[in-house]
Amino acid sequence: MRVLVTRPKLSAARTAERLISMGHEPVLLPLSKAVHHPRKAAEALLLPHAALAVTSAEALRAIAAPEIRSAIDLGKPLFAVGDATAAAARSAGFGEVHAGAGDGQDLADLIAGSTVDLGDGILYLAGRPRARTFEERLEALGLPLRIAEVYEMAPVDYQPADLVDIFLTSRPGAVLLYSRENTQRFFDLAAPYAAALADMQIFCMSDRTAAKVPAEYHRHVRVAEAPSEDALLTLL
């Protein structure tokens, strides 16, 4: 089956490899691209903090620039959403990495239940736009938090001819959607090609993601059992 992959280019390439190994044909349509803010990252990392938190591996790529490395204390505990992000943190050199299953709320609960001394607070290396579940849960738990927006996801623009080729020529049988913003962007671009969506299966990372699917396509929606790409791909 042809499967439309809407992740940013770097992540989409890895997903494409997985799809090929599963016998599917990936069609890439990156809907956003990362813009890093190294100065903001460096300034935040130089301020006191007891631990770091990341909800996306993109935050780790945002602090990978050589001019930032000297500001990073790799001995600080780092809390990450999901095994993949935790693995990226270990690859970046962090020695104490705690992986939270599920979403940002689950990560906040993991932090609250940990034995890490949080006296200097948690530095959340965040992106924009983002769901607020992690920071809202930490606030509800009364845990000290400072947010540094070290990257943002900017929309990728496409020419009409590119979209015609993807929606009307390639005719994917399914699309993978990863976030609310990702889903909104997809249906904005796909609106002129509604006929191509009539039989397309729509696989969503979470209920929050699925909530942004227009009502006329709800019958095609399936939601992953857990907010991870592993769970998403099991829907295929």
The tokens describing 145, both together, are 């938090």
Phi, psi of 92 (to 5 degrees): -80, -10
CB 232 within 8 Å of CB 24: no
Decide which of 100, 118, 153 is a domain's last residue.
Answer: 153
Question: For the chain, what is the domain count?
Answer: 2
Residues 68 and 161 in one domain: no
Please tell me the pTM assigned to this model.
Answer: 0.86
Among 77, 46, 44, smallest CA distance to 147 is for 44
Provide the 8-state DSSP code for 37: -
Residue 146 CA to residue 47 CA, distance in Å, equals: 10
Q: Is there a single domain that holds both residue 115 and residue 169?
A: no
Structural domain for 201, as ranges: 2-31+156-233
C-alpha span between 103 and 101 (Å, rounded): 7
Per-residue pLDDT 10s for the chain (236 aa) are 999 999 999 899 999 999 999 999 999 999 999 999 999 999 999 999 999 999 999 999 999 988 888 899 999 999 999 898 999 999 999 999 999 987 899 999 999 999 999 999 999 999 999 989 999 999 999 999 999 999 999 999 999 999 999 999 999 999 999 999 999 999 999 999 998 998 999 999 999 999 999 999 999 999 999 888 999 999 99
CATH number of residue 177's parent domain: 3.40.50.10090
Query: Residue 195: which of 167, 161, 159, 166 has the closest Cα?
Result: 167
